[in-house]
Amino acid sequence: MTNPFTPQDLYLHRKVTEVACAPDGSWIAAAVRSIRRQEDDAISNIWAVSPSGDPARQLTFGTGTENAPRWSPDSTQLAFISNRGGTNQVYVLPLAGGEARQVGGFEGAVSDLRWMPDGRSLVVACAVSVDPDWRGARPAGRKPKTAGVQPQVAWKLPYKSDGVGYTLKREIHLFLLELGSGEQRQLTDGAFDVLAFDISPDGRELAYTRTRSGRFGHRCDLWLAGVDGSGARQCTRDFATVMSPAWSPDGGRVAFCATGEEGDAQTGLHVLDVAGGRSRRLGDENLQVSDPLSVRWGEDGRHLLCTLQSRGRHQVARVPVDGGDAKVLCAGDRQFSAFSAGGGLLAYAVDHPSLPSEVHLCDCDGGVERQVSDFNPWWKDRTSILAESWQFEVPDGKGGTETIEGWLLRAEGAVGPMPLLNDVHGGPAAYALLDFDTNVFWQVLCSKGWAVLALNAVGSASYGREFCDRLSGHWGEYDLPQHLSAIRQLKKEGICDERIAVAGKSYGGYLSAWSIGHCAQFRAAVVMAPVGNIETHYGTSDGGYYADPYYMGTRDRFQRELARQLSPLHCVEKATTPTLFMQGADDERCPKCQSEELFVSLMRAGDTPTELVLYPEQDHHFLGEGAPSVREDAATRIVDWLVAHIDREPQPLRQEDDTATAQST
């Protein structure tokens, strides 16, 4: 006898967020996030997972966050980042036994680390305090203000970031940390942030990506320097974003991921020839890396291992660097939350609606795949969820039709017709994500006899550049008809009936809000962290000033008239669908004003049931990464709102004169 999923199951779920294969293949280090219900927080510990499938061994027992496990070159020690002392610092643990010890002590929070090849020191990325009034300068003998008023001066863009807040009072730089003495030496300096880095195999050079100095700092480039920071030189200039550099075994090349234009979310794979200074792309424009952190060199230096995104799925692939097609080593109807290669193994954590988060392994050629952890045994006692890939014939926005895909979720053995939630993914240049932490309400609804459709409509990434880019300048106009067409097909095939609801977050919130102002067939809606008014989003979002022109298809400038035309705010007063708005109060990606404008306008337009829920101290990722009590509350409210309104007969859209009358009363 199984039990139905409930929102409270999020307290049981353990999420594998990182994996790292030991160089000798003896162990896989896994960072595993779990929840402390009484403390209302999430903690992360490091575990050692055996390739043989023997029970995992917990290595750290802190009550904070411990992540970024990094093996020493000889596989005998693990370095990791922990906030057990209050801020993120570097710790080293001998695998043979003994306690982890803190190495050094940094003033700011450590964000990443790498071992030097000799195993005697580490290169560490760490936050450094600066005074925003310096405006990037380096006044001799001056230190940042420590008391009194500290205004948040904005002298360049961006000046804030979702989940962080105001950013111009700190920079992120590289340090060399001696393992024995704990001595540290700063390697980079300037009005920029180091975002990612790697060390050459001979230990003589650094490759790192850093933001630009000056008026606009959202672009970042690849730089090379001596390991002491000397001789820094910029190696790329034509990319909008460069990520995750990785040195080849012979030190002659650096692989990296990059996006071409500001706002573009599709990531290509590139290789820089160090001696010649030129970079080239591997594969065509449709070869897209799903996780830049996954890129690893093969031992022979002739190919790269990484995870690719393809048709809403993730696959492990071997990509030759000197020409030829990528070879898929491991694939399936699933996604990965983490990946690592080393010691002749490929390790990955799987995301799938029917499966809990666990570590899986296969050999370096993709063979002998197996699950080697069991962090979530409770999952076996829950309703079995069937997640199927469905195809739909839909209008392509150009007068023709095309075939698109989506995930259809139901309780195993359930038969229709049943109520359906049309869940719209974010992005829009993304795809339906399958992780349990964000979508626990999917399993809950399926346990209650619902179906869930997670469609990858036009604009979705991983289906080719043309399919993704076609939505630019046509938000809502091209993709809403595809959603409605897919729903009609499910009705015709007896999967669902007329009880249809819509929900989504971020761009999914946008399309949900757009939907209720353009059609009346949804009986309930949940709009989360939306783009509601593109014109105000441009100036209030942490990345709106460069992302919105890209997505409007007007890359060189922001066209306010088009932004108004495509904004849900200008049609929401016609809506008669009961709508719940949900928002993190500290969201800087889609600030709370986006939900507030929509909520107030709908509230004043008539008597349509509507509520706004703001979660204090929560950012854009409140649904999947917020405080556990917030996540439980959000999942519960979503389910309760949908169930409460799904049997209500839909009302026709409100006419403009009806709206004017309602506002005057």
Q: What is the pLDDT of residue 664?
A: 66
Q: How much is the pLDDT for 140?
A: 79
C-alpha–C-alpha distance, residues 541 and 616, integer Å: 18
- Give the model's pLDDT for residue 416: 85
Compute φ and ψ for 414, nearest 5 degrees.
Answer: -70, 145
For residues 212-239, average pLDDT: 96
pTM above 0.75, yes or no: yes
The domains spanning 235-332 and 385-664 adopt the same CATH topology = no
In this structure, whether the domain defined by 235-332 belongs to CATH 2.40.128.660 is answered with yes
> What is the predicted pLDDT for the residue at 97?
83
Rg of the chain over CA atoms, in angstroms?
Answer: 25
CA distance 642 to 510: 18
Query: With pLDDT > 90 as the criterion, what percentage of the chain qualifies?
Result: 94
CB atoms within 10 A of CB 633: 17
- The Cα 64–Cα 91 span in angstroms is 13
For residues 199 and 68, give the distance between their C-alpha atoms in angstroms, rounded to a whole number: 16
Predicted pLDDT of residue 556:
79
Domain positions in the chain are 15-98+336-378, 103-142+151-200, 235-332, 385-664
According to DSSP, the β-strands at 496-505 and 524-528 are: parallel
Residue 663 pLDDT > 90: no
Calculate mean pLDDT across residues 44-71: 96
pLDDT for residue 1: 75
Q: What pLDDT was estimated at residue 662?
A: 72
Q: For residues 501 and 419, is the Cβ–Cβ distance under 8 A? A: yes
Question: Which CATH number is associated with domain 385-664?
Answer: 3.40.50.1820
